[in-house]
Structure 1
Amino acid sequence: MTSPVNNARLTKGAIVALDPFNPLASVVIFQYNPAELTRSLTPAAPPGGAAAVPVGAQRLTGPPTEKISLKVTINAEEQMPVAGTVTGGSVYPQLAALEMLMYPKSLLVIKNAVLAAMGTMEVQPPEAPLTLFIWGLRRVMPVTVESYSVTEQYHDNNLNPLIAEADLQLRVLTYQNFTRRQAGYYTFLSYQIVKEAMAMVASVSNIAATGAAILK
C-alpha cells in the first residue's frame, strides 16, 4: 500500500537513552521508519476487577498500560560508508546500540563489583537510563524495552551482519513509574497533554461536521 504521506522530508523515528556516561552510544535513529507500528492500551482498573467498581461508575486508577510493537530494518548497503570503521560497513553498530538499551553500563558493574569486594553491605543495582521513543514531535514518550529479537540475514567475511530485522516490544512508562524529581515524570505528562489537545481538535472537527450535516 502506498503511503499517503509526502516523503520529500521524512521525519525519522528514533529511540534515545539519556545516558550521561555515554550519550553517543544510546542514540538509535531508524534508517527506515517501520511500515507498521502496533499499539495496545489496557485501562488501569481498581484492584478486584469489575466487582470493585461501584454501580454506575468507572474508576481509573491511573493512565492505561500502553505497549508498542515495531520492526526495525537495517541495511548496510544503503548506509553511507564510514572510512576506517572496524566493522567494514556492517549493521552491527546499530544492533549494538539497540541492545545496549537493555544492558547496565560496564563501568557501573565494575564499580559495584569493587564495592562488594570492599565489603559494602548493600550495593544498588545500576539504574537504567531514561529511554525515549520518539515518533514525531507529538509523540515523545518514556519507554522500557520488554523484548527484543533480531534476524541477521547476511554476513560479511568477518561474520558481521549486513542486513538485519529487529522486532521490538516497548512498554510506555507513565508518571506512576517516576518520582516528581525525574524527567520521565514530566515527559509522560507532556505526552498525555499533547494527546488531550489532539482529542480536543478531533472533537471540535466532529461537532462541526455533525452540525454541517444537520443543516443540509
Structure 2
Amino acid sequence: MTTYPNSPKIVKGGIVLIDAKSGATLSMISLQYNPEKLNRKYEPQAFGDGGQGNALRLKGPAMETLTIEADIDAADQLEFPEQNKDVTEHGIQPQLALLESLVNPTSAQLNNNNLLASAGTLEIAPMEMPLALFIWSKNRIVPISVKTFTIDEEAFDTQLNPIRAKVNLSMQVLNINDLGFQHRGGSLFMNYLQNKEQLASKVGGAALSSFGISSLPP
C-alpha cells in the first residue's frame, strides 16, 4: 500500500484483551482497515412496572450494542512473500484465529475442567475469559462481550488458505450492571460514560425561538 510523507497518521480501531485483575495486556487485535461504518444500538433500561410516576425512571445504563464489518486482505503482504512468510504459508488464518479466540475458551481451560470433572469435583466454575476492550478513538474505550461473529472467506490461495475475508462483529458494551463498580471493566465503562457527558456539555444551548415559540406552555 502506497503511503505519502505528508499523509495524516490514521488511528486504528481494534480490540485489546487484558487481564481483568492485573490490567496486563494479553493480546491486541488491530483492524487492518478501519470499517466505514460503526452501528450503535441502544436499549434504554426503563423501570418498566407501568406504575404512575415511573415513566421517567431508569434501572441503569442503556444496553448498547456495537456492530462493525471489517475487511482482512493479504494482497499487500503477498506482493512481498520473502518479507511475509507467515502470510505466504498460512494466508490470513492467524488473524482469523486471533479473532476466534474472543469466543472460545482455551484448550488448557477445557483440559483443566475435564481433569476437575474426572476427579469428582462437584462444582466447576465457568471458564473466565480475558476482559475485551473495543477501542475506537481515545474517547471510546469500552469493555465488551461478543454477541455474534461471522466470517465470510472470499478468496483462497492454491493451498486453500484464506487470503481475503469479511468479518461481521456484534458486541455488547458491558456496563456496571454487568460487571459492578469494583471491576476494572466497570471503571472503564464509567470513564466512557463520563467522556460522553463531557462531550455533550460542549454542545451550545438552543433558543426556544429556533423552534418557532417564545415560551413553553405552563
CA distance in 2: counterparts of 1:116 and 1:87, whole angstroms: 42
CA distance in 2: counterparts of 1:140 and 1:206, whole angstroms: 28
Percent pairwise identity: 35
Two-structure CA RMSD over aligned residues (Å): 2.5
1:158 is the counterpart of 2:159: yes
Using the TM superposition, give the Cα deviation of residue 98 of structure 1 relative to its aligned residue in structure 2, in angstroms. 0.9
> Which consecutive residues of structure 1, in runs of 5 or more, have no partner in the other structure?
1-5, 212-216
CA distance in 2: counterparts of 1:33 and 1:182, whole angstroms: 29
- The structure carrying a bigger strand percent of its residues is 2
TM-score (norm 1): 0.83
> Which consecutive residues of structure 2, in runs of 5 or more, have no partner in the other structure?
1-5, 211-218
Instruction: Give the SS at the match of 1:101.
Output: coil
Using the TM superposition, give the Cα deviation of residue 42 of structure 1 relative to its aligned residue in structure 2, in angstroms. 1.4
Instruction: Give the SS at the match of 1:97.
Output: helix
Tell me the residue number matched to 1:8: 8
Tell me the residue number matched to 1:132: 133
CA distance in 1: counterparts of 2:190 and 2:19, whole angstroms: 21
CA distance in 2: counterparts of 1:107 and 1:123, whole angstroms: 15
Tell me the residue number matched to 1:3: none
Instruction: Give the SS at the match of 2:16.
Output: strand
Using the TM superposition, give the Cα deviation of residue 121 of structure 1 relative to its aligned residue in structure 2, in angstroms. 1.1
Tell me the residue number matched to 1:98: 99
Instruction: Give the SS at the match of 1:132.
Output: strand
Q: In structure 2, do the counterparts of structure 1 residues 7 and 170 end up closer, same or farther at CA, with 3 Å as the change threshold?
A: farther
CA distance in 1: counterparts of 2:113 and 2:84, whole angstroms: 37
Paired residue type of 1:152: E
TM-score (norm 2): 0.82
CA distance in 2: counterparts of 1:7 and 1:193, whole angstroms: 32
Length, aligned pairs only: 198
Tell me the residue number matched to 1:64: 62
Instruction: Give the SS at the match of 1:145.
Output: strand
1:75-122 Cα offsets, whole Å, 9 max, x none, are 101247654427626111111111110001211111111111111111
Q: Could you tell me whether the CA contact under 8 Å between 2:74 and 2:87 is conserved in 1? A: no
Runs of 4 or more above 3 Å deviation: 79-84
Q: Where does 1:117-196 land on structure 2 (aligned, <5 Å)?
A: 117-196=118-197
Using the TM superposition, give the Cα deviation of residue 178 of structure 1 relative to its aligned residue in structure 2, in angstroms. 0.9
